[in-house]
Structure 1
């Protein structure tokens, strides 16, 4: 009797969570379709009012139309307002709602629009499969979120807890961000940050002659930095059992999924040639971050780990090529030089050391080859903090309200001894923006701009106050050489593919400012702003005024040259449109296998700072 009573309840719960997962994916999908005008959907849309609510009507053939509930937004013309997106049939006796559409059904209607325009979407089948997976993985994530809320884990408790918390949003506004292609449901629970599971590393002995390594490896070998004394002793014993010497072989940590699914199946020639020797040793306990391949150690150490893992996320494999780490070293040196040029940066901006790495690379082979990128390891060394200081990834601030609790600002303000009021929320948001813009603008003046989205930027807190930033992941530090040279900075000498466009070198200053507008503001700060607006029922326009005011004040405090200031004023405040990074169009246009970089594209959107000025 008890079993029979609980089974229907469990099924209802599963159905409810699946429905919520579909809604989350649908919200982001509708937003991207409209913002990017995929297959002309935004061009066909007409505003209509129904019972005082705003909708978009998109006519379809034959005798049908979509009715999309929307609201006006600041960065785009519209945002999805609810999941009640329906298809209406027009008959001789009037209109009738025929279906409420889920994400996959909506994409079938988009496919109809593409056919009507004779538009090719080579990546559509893969994207539809990703949408299906996105719903499944979002459901898994939401279940973990409920477990987290019930457990009452505090993101201020530890850096690992903060990273786990940050993973609950993933890439903001992207409908397939949750997809970890290649993971089963069990894999997702075992290796994604939301579940906080312990990940125990596997180890591979790699012939030293087939490895290249970073400039910082004098700090020690991977086992020295990752394992404790007892584990290192057990590792040495596994070398003895394998009949190999440490003089000839280096022990590299491997993600357990990567070893079983990739190394043991796709690198049989290397194993047969004894260039790779799987060791009968498991050691080193870690937890995943939202990037999946970056891992936080369970023991107390500043040495974190980044490993390749051959899943597909956002249209790219999460591998770790030697090329990226070589360019990361160059980017790190450039950032260190930039920090030396500015007294404020010197006291407020810290860098992770990412020069300690090893990668499979045959002598004389091409750095752009696909195969070697599946075996490598990078030690990400965090700087020492002052006693009591805390680290909080900016991505944690864009997490939606969790069950039974509010936004992270609730907890943060409580730590500061402040009441949760609208004024306190806006002031705390301004504090975050001030620290963020101070670092970004001072680097920009020097002709340098890292990829400062929420996952790469970590807030440094002291007694609950933002005292600076920490940057990590230095392989895409972009630059504009004329501004750099004017400040005495040298070309880092990035390795780029000959005769291919790259985003590291920007010939025009507005090319560098593009990354301030997109990754820094439209992705990072807007995701935080959006979460705050919904969690606390604050009008988006009010929070955009905070962004505009803080940015303007930051520009005034940084000693830009007159020419630089004129360009920034024009690009940031005067133009009616801004550039935007496309989310799903590059995926729909993608053909061929996934590479190591996410497919990219640019479009235009409304300048939110112009709107903020109008509403101030």
Structure 2
């Protein structure tokens, strides 16, 4: 299937999942000669879409990237995302129609960039096939991110599009190409820059002369890193700010794109604003200063909880994110330094996003890691992984009232031959917390709640935690991985769902034995007929914030997904 048809099919399936323009709720199902069709009354005609039933994330999926429209002479075939978006676009809502039109441009970018990335995958096959033992710790981390970058987001159809990147930008700064580049720097009067913890500044941080400035003239200045693609967008600089003439500090792009790995200090990563949109037109990759503080809050709290809780101890470690800086509330002038713990011998760190990735020779990347001496087989690994995720995230939710937005990119696994699988946590600035439960579980930490800056973090209803756990941990980090591994025949699908349900049950039983209430979680996970689903396309691209009513475009849900956990009950 070519990129255009592939993106079209992804868009059609997402529209079915999110009931875009009432595609499910307004349609009628008919069966003709054994084929199931959805008949959808569009604004000017009727669409007929061939579908098949699904028990994962949505009840119906499209058979192909084509459909039919009713005309005076009968059903006529149509294809292509431009025609699809035009057909389901609502009439009479100018803002929504403009969003649909702009989304077509995003789809164009996804197709063009998908073709470039597919070519890059083949061109770099020799490098991508290097075995783990032939690479250093930092190279393995970079290798995992690069492999993950070739695998599309499970649910957002045009995540391939780095909207705002030209072809040249993509080749130079995208993780698929993994090219070394050099950061730019901005000198500011020291009083303009707020540092979260100045004492945590690393020894390698540059002096003025290293970026082409006179040390004496700029001795009262502070330097902050700027991505080369963001520099042209800094139209209005703070008073006294100077763009350093010399680029300095070689880096590599990581999966997040705006976070870069230092070439000479691979355990150190810099997160810097980037004028690019991903996962929706409203999702520009800048840095809101308040997130620096909230991220540090969770890093500290999670570390303390992990050290004292018997079920969590040894299951995860959090990266050091103490050294951050920002200029007032400027989202383009901020940074975060992320420092990983000292590498373990033979350790491979990989984001969950890489678990379904394939190598150029057709093998799963995960399978290649499990081939190392001292690693479990795939079935045992899946059991260990499910139990790790269940223990960590159910304990945080049910005992402490914390649900983390640790998506496939931010959830990092530590895989070391002969050692237990563990998690490495990072970037936890958008979690949800139930204050009363947290206070009851952690009296010594209760007063810290007042330090949180984003008012959306503290919630009053436990359903917000359930939605976060189900849509992030369960659907993105577990079920999406299961489906990928089963499709590649590394796991048996039915058995893998049984293992997943058993891991959740095991964690719940252990929590119950320690007096933790689990009835609500059991109802949401096992008894409910449907699951909440993140409506990423609607909130991120096709609806205005006014139309969606979403306070956070990354947390806009519909209760429309089949409960796949009920598969494991039989």
CA offset at residue 543 of structure 1?
Answer: 3.0
Question: Which structure dedicates a bigger proportion of its chain to helix?
Answer: 1
After superposition, the Cα gap between the structure-2 partners of 1:117 and 1:318, relative to the gap in structure 1 and judged at 3 Å, is: closer
**Aligned residue in 2 for 1:379:** 337
Alignment of 1:235 onto 2:213: no
CA offset at residue 211 of structure 1?
Answer: 0.8
Distance 1:97 1:31 in 2: 21
**Aligned residue in 1 for 2:297:** 330
Distance 2:146 2:418 in 1: 20
Contact 1:122–1:589 at 8 Å: present in 2 too? no
Distance 1:182 1:590 in 2: 20
CA offset at residue 311 of structure 1?
Answer: 1.4
SS at match of 2:414: strand
- Of 538-547 and 340-349, deviating more is 538-547
Contact 1:154–1:161 at 8 Å: present in 2 too? no
CA offset at residue 355 of structure 1?
Answer: 1.3
Distance 1:305 1:605 in 2: 38
SS at match of 1:31: helix
After superposition, the Cα gap between the structure-2 partners of 1:461 and 1:407, relative to the gap in structure 1 and judged at 3 Å, is: same
CA offset at residue 374 of structure 1?
Answer: 0.2
Of 66, 80, 89, which residue of structure 2 is paired with 1:102? Answer: 80
**Aligned residue in 2 for 1:557:** 510
CA offset at residue 255 of structure 1?
Answer: 0.9
Q: What TM-score does the superposition give when structure 2 sets the normalisation length?
A: 0.89
Distance 1:309 1:152 in 2: 26
Q: What are the superposed Cα offsets for residues 337-377 of structure 1, whole Å, 9 maximum, x if unpaired? A: 2213313423121001111011112xxxxx4xxxx110112
CA offset at residue 515 of structure 1?
Answer: 0.9
Distance 1:49 1:150 in 2: 49
**Aligned residue in 2 for 1:194:** 176
Q: What are the superposed Cα offsets for residues 382-438 of structure 1, whole Å, 9 maximum, x if unpaired? A: 112322222111110133x4553132233133225789xxxx544332222111212
Q: What are the superposed Cα offsets for residues 306-360 of structure 1, whole Å, 9 maximum, x if unpaired? A: 1111212222111112211011121222212221331342312100111101111
SS at match of 1:195: coil
CA offset at residue 245 of structure 1?
Answer: 2.4
Of 531, 534, 537, which residue of structure 2 is paired with 1:581? Answer: 534
CA offset at residue 495 of structure 1?
Answer: 4.3
Contact 1:225–1:303 at 8 Å: present in 2 too? no
Contact 1:70–1:82 at 8 Å: present in 2 too? no
Detail structure 1 runs of 4+ shifted over 6 Å in the superposition: 116-119
Q: What TM-score does the superposition give when structure 1 sets the normalisation length?
A: 0.82
Distance 1:577 1:377 in 2: 40
**Aligned residue in 1 for 2:250:** 285
Contact 2:526–2:566 at 8 Å: present in 1 too? no
1:251-290 matches, within 5 Å, as 251-259=223-231, 261-263=232-234, 266-267=235-236, 269-270=237-238, 273=239, 275-290=240-255
CA offset at residue 136 of structure 1?
Answer: 1.8
Distance 1:200 1:226 in 2: 14
Alignment of 1:414 onto 2:371: yes
Alignment of 1:38 onto 2:24: no
After superposition, the Cα gap between the structure-2 partners of 1:434 and 1:175, relative to the gap in structure 1 and judged at 3 Å, is: same
CA RMSD in angstroms comes to: 3.0
Distance 1:578 1:31 in 2: 17
1:358-369 matches, within 5 Å, as 358-361=325-328, 367=329
CA offset at residue 46 of structure 1?
Answer: 4.0
After superposition, the Cα gap between the structure-2 partners of 1:596 and 1:300, relative to the gap in structure 1 and judged at 3 Å, is: farther
Distance 2:494 2:93 in 1: 36
Distance 2:208 2:484 in 1: 48
Alignment of 1:136 onto 2:105: no
SS at match of 2:61: strand
Alignment of 1:451 onto 2:405: yes
Contact 2:55–2:563 at 8 Å: present in 1 too? no
After superposition, the Cα gap between the structure-2 partners of 1:121 and 1:482, relative to the gap in structure 1 and judged at 3 Å, is: farther
**Aligned residue in 2 for 1:602:** 557
Matched residue count:
554
Alignment of 1:220 onto 2:210: no
Alignment of 1:205 onto 2:187: yes
CA offset at residue 452 of structure 1?
Answer: 1.7
Distance 2:195 2:125 in 1: 42
Distance 1:607 1:580 in 2: 10
SS at match of 1:564: coil
**Aligned residue in 1 for 2:11:** 29
Of 307, 312, 317, which residue of structure 2 is paired with 1:340? Answer: 307
**Aligned residue in 1 for 2:498:** 545
Of 520, 538, 543, which residue of structure 1 is paired with 2:473? Answer: 520
Distance 2:374 2:313 in 1: 30
CA offset at residue 528 of structure 1?
Answer: 0.8
Give unmatched runs, 5+ long, in structure 2: none
After superposition, the Cα gap between the structure-2 partners of 1:213 and 1:417, relative to the gap in structure 1 and judged at 3 Å, is: closer
Of 207, 215, 222, which residue of structure 2 is paired with 1:250? Answer: 222
Alignment of 1:430 onto 2:405: no
**Aligned residue in 1 for 2:278:** 313
- Of 445-454 and 74-83, deviating more is 74-83
Of 67, 85, 90, which residue of structure 2 is paired with 1:86? Answer: 67
After superposition, the Cα gap between the structure-2 partners of 1:165 and 1:357, relative to the gap in structure 1 and judged at 3 Å, is: same
SS at match of 1:454: coil
Distance 1:417 1:383 in 2: 22
CA offset at residue 55 of structure 1?
Answer: 4.5
CA offset at residue 63 of structure 1?
Answer: 6.0
Contact 2:500–2:568 at 8 Å: present in 1 too? no
Contact 2:374–2:418 at 8 Å: present in 1 too? no
After superposition, the Cα gap between the structure-2 partners of 1:123 and 1:91, relative to the gap in structure 1 and judged at 3 Å, is: closer
Q: What are the superposed Cα offsets for residues 452-504 of structure 1, whole Å, 9 maximum, x if unpaired? A: 2111111111107542100000212321112212212424324446xxxx431
Distance 1:51 1:541 in 2: 30
Q: What are the superposed Cα offsets for residues 546-588 of structure 1, whole Å, 9 maximum, x if unpaired? A: 2212111122233576562112111211121222211111121
